[in-house]
């Protein structure tokens, strides 16, 4: 298909054109269920590759706007969303992108149904997924921990399939000191004599003030433990242009990417609030929200990689260099093959996490799967986020100079991807979190069992070798950890990222091999080729490095003693933002 004069590349139906998604659904979904959802996915794929893609390019230069004062000088703090986001919210509701997970029409497969829809929709909506993640997380948090009256009030709106009644929810945790260390939260909650609560403080980075509600962490006085409570805060009524009293939007954030996400600085000056659960139980209550947000992050990462590859493929088929399409050039197609393999590894790792989330919510998760789910959540988030930035950087290069030109939409993909390693925990924070999870009873055994499950599913020599490579990387990582623990906490922390990425990539390789065995009858040599291309990139990142020398290099002190830094040490752990 030739590209139109206004586009650098064309897109086909994004469901029909996605062999990876279709083959995966053929393998994991019961045939009756797949037949039931396929029509919806096909329609969504047509929208994503057609009308929504056109609107995305048309809306490319628009950002949400803040009007702080009305014509009479009154404070209105009205945020106007762009046309693309307004359309995206309508499609989210009508196509059940949130609701499908909670209607439980397909039991433990309901999350697969939901995230297949999200995976198709999100690449064309410029990071709408961040707001949908907090909305989804709010729904699960209220179901798990909310009072009956709060659930009855909010849940029908959060799960509505009607754009007129659909609500979104923000998540307001981050303050000036950062978002990972919750002990730094300074927003306070005061209980009035009549039992009502009011919040006072400054939220430096809020996911959205255009949402109808938010879940907000605040510090409650005279409470044991960390003193944090999670509150439900109504932001605005449906159709209202201004937030409720006590909520002021100081400014919109001028961000590198995710520009259509109306991230704001918010002042809370007596905002009405209700505790979601018990007072002082805020950290524990956050668990479902954090897990779901990290899952959405991975789905966003895989969707963006898939979109970039689809555009680059079409471009390379229609762009000629020295008399032939560039897709016929050996170096180009070898590069594209490696990017495709990376995407497929990320896809199968992400949807393995989605499978476990669905089993948990359906009450069908075993103890070993519960341990695996706990470890996979941070591992999948950090692994796929880093892969998305790397893949989309290469995708930009695949277009040559055109990939650097804003009106093609390609730079936007890369900028958006760079939000993924930052949101809900940076790569380093996720690495320490994963390490912390793995050191709990049963977690290492769960990862080992997952690799063994993949080993048992393969019987082709090339695929058996791939799983053995994955198991070898896992064993090497375990040996490194044992040695690092003997050396002390600094050595453990210094190698945590390499350790986590080794485990993430090892799991991707094993899952790719397992899926390839199933697809061999239909895909032939392509099934093993993707596994071999992934393995060839290297999955074992464990290497002997002395952490004190890393300290010297990082600080670049010319006069620093070679006998090691006189630097403060840590205990090699982070305080997780929520109980999992």
CA-derived radius of gyration, the chain? 24
Q: Pull the structure tokens for residue 78.
A: 């009205």
Q: What pLDDT does residue 237 have?
A: 80
* pLDDT confidence bin for 184, thresholds 50/70/90: confident
What's the confidence (pLDDT) of residue 224?
56
Say if domain 169-282 classifies as CATH 3.40.50.300: no
CA distance linking residue 317 with residue 313, whole number of Å: 6
The three-point CA angle 247-252-254 to 5° equals 160
Average pLDDT (11-40) is 97
The pair of structure tokens assigned to 214 is 């938010």
**Which pLDDT score is estimated for 223?**
64
Strand partners for 80: 65
Q: What is d(CA 247, CA 42) in angstroms, rounded to the nearest whole number?
A: 42
Q: Count the neighbouring beta carbons within 10 Å of the beta carbon of residue 75.
A: 13
For residue 439, pLDDT over 60 is answered with: yes
Closest CA to 210 of 103, 334, 77: 77
> Residue 28 burial (CB < 10 Å; 0-12/13-18/19+)?
middle
More confidently predicted of 442 and 237:
442
Distance CA 156, CA 99 (A): 10
What pLDDT band is residue 174 in, cutting at 50, 70 and 90? confident
Check if the beta carbon of residue 142 is closer than 8 Å to that of residue 155: yes
Contact 415, 257 (CB under 8 A): yes
As a whole number of angstroms, the distance between CA 374 and CA 1 comes to 44
Residue whose structure tokens are 């449906």? 238
pTM of the model: 0.94
Q: Is the pLDDT of residue 569 over 60?
A: no
State the residue for tokens 């906490």.
Answer: 489
* 410-435 burial code (b ≥16 CB/10 A, e <16): bbbbbbbbbbbbbbbbbbbbbbbbbb
Q: What is the pLDDT of residues 129-147, one digit of tens each?
A: 999 999 999 999 999 999 9
Query: What is the per-residue pLDDT for 572?
Result: 46
pLDDT (tens digit per residue) in 22-35: 999 999 999 999 99
* CA–CA gap between residue 548 and residue 554 (Å, rounded): 10
Helices 83-94, 51-58: inter-axial angle, 10-degree rounding: 150
**Opening angle at CA 124, ends 114 and 35, nearest 5:** 35
Q: Which residue has the higher pLDDT, 339 or 185?
A: 339
Q: Tell me, what's the pLDDT at 326?
A: 95
Each domain of the chain, given as residue ranges in start order, spans: 169-282, 428-555
Gap between the Cα atoms of 294 and 313, Å rounded: 29
Tokens of 339: 């990017």
**Predicted confidence (pLDDT) at residue 548 exceeds the cutoff of 70:** no
Q: Taking residues 377-394, what's their average pLDDT?
A: 98
What is the tens place of the pLDDT at every residue in 210-252? 999 999 999 987 665 568 999 999 998 877 778 999 999 999 9
Task: Give percent of the chain above pLDDT 90.
Answer: 81
- In the predicted structure, residue 42 carries a pLDDT above the cut 70: yes
Cα gap 10→307, rounded to integer Å: 11
Phi, psi of 215 (to 5 degrees): -105, 125
pLDDT of residue 275: 95
Mean pLDDT of 450-476: 97
The answer to whether residues 208 and 262 touch, using CB atoms and an 8 Å cutoff, is: yes
User: Which among 463, 465, 311, 473 is positioned nearest to 398, based on CA atoms?
Assistant: 311
What's residue 562's pLDDT? 42
Strands 197-206 and 75-80: unpaired
C-alpha span between 209 and 134 (Å, rounded): 12
In whole numbers, what is the pLDDT of the chain averaged over residues?
Answer: 91
Q: Give how far Cα 15 sits from Cα of 11, 61, 286, Å.
A: 11, 27, 34
Going from the C-alpha of 168 to that of each of 144, 213, 563, the distances in angstroms are 18, 7, 55
Give residue 545's pLDDT band: very low, low, confident or very high (50, 70, 90): low
Query: Residue 181's closest CA among 574, 544, 579?
Result: 574
pLDDT in tens, 347-368: 999 999 999 999 999 999 999 9
């Amino acid at each position: 298909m030739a590209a139109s004069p206004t586009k650098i590349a064309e897109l086909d139906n994004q469901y029909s054109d996605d062999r990876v998604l279709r083959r995966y659904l053929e393998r994991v979904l019961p045939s009756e269920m797949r037949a039931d959802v396929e029509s919806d996915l096909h329609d969504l794929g047509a929208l994503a590759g057609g009308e929504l893609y056109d609107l995305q390019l048309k809306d490319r230069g628009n950002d949400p706007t803040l009007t702080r004062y009305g014509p009479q000088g009154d404070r209105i703090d009205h945020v106007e969303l762009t046309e693309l986001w307004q359309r995206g919210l309508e499609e989210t509701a009508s196509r059940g992108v949130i609701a499908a997970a909670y209607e439980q029409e397909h039991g433990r497969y309901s999350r697969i149904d939901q995230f297949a829809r999200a995976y198709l929709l999100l690449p064309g909506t410029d990071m709408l997924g961040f707001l949908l993640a907090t909305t989804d997380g709010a729904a699960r948090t209220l179901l798990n921990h909310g009072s009956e009256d709060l659930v009855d009030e909010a849940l029908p709106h959060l799960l509505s399939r009607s754009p007129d009644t659909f609500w979104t929810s923000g998540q307001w945790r981050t303050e000036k000191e950062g978002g990972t260390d919750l002990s730094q939260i300074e927003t306070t909650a005061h209980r009035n004599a009549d039992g009502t609560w009011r919040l006072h403080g400054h939220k430096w980075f809020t996911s959205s003030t255009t949402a109808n509600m938010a879940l907000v962490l605040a510090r409650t006085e005279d409470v044991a433990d960390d003193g944090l409570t999670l509150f439900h805060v109504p932001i605005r009524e449906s159709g209202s242009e201004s937030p409720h009293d006590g909520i002021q939007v100081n400014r919109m954030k001028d961000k590198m990417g995710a520009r259509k996400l109306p991230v704001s600085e918010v002042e809370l000056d007596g905002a009405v609030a209700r505790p979601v659960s018990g007072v002082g139980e805020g950290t524990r209550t956050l668990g479902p929200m954090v897990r779901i947000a990290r899952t959405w992050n991975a789905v966003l990462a895989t969707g963006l990689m898939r979109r970039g590859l689809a555009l680059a493929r079409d471009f390379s088929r229609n762009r000629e260099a020295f008399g032939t399409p560039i897709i016929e050039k050996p170096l180009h197609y070898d590069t594209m093959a490696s990017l495709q393999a990376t995407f497929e590894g990320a896809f199968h790792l992400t949807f393995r996490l989605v499978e476990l989330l669905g089993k948990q919510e359906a009450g069908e998760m075993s103890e070993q799967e519960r341990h695996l789910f706990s470890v996979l959540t941070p591992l999948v988030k950090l692994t796929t986020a880093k892969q998305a930035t790397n893949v989309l950087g290469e995708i930009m290069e695949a277009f040559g100079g055109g990939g650097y030109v804003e009106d093609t939409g390609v730079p936007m993909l890369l900028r958006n991807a760079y939000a993924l390693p930052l949101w809900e925990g940076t790569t380093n924070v996720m690495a320490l979190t994963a390490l912390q999870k793995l050191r709990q009873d049963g977690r290492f055994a769960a990862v080992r069992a997952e690799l063994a499950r993949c080993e048992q599913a393969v019987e082709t020599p090339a695929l058996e070798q791939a799983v053995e490579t994955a198991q070898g990387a896992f064993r090497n990582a375990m040996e490194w950890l044992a040695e690092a623990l003997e050396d002390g906490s600094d050595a453990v922390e210094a190698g945590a990222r390499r350790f986590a990425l080794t485990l993430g990539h090892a799991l991707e390789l094993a899952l790719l091999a397992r899926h390839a065995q199933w697809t061999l009858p239909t895909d032939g040599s392509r099934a093993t080729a993707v596994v071999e291309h992934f393995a060839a990139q290297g999955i074992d990142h464990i290497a002997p490095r002395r952490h004190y020398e890393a300290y010297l290099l990082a600080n670049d002190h010319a006069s620093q003693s070679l006998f090691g830094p006189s630097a403060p040490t840590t205990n090699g752990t982070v305080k997780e933002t929520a109980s999992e």
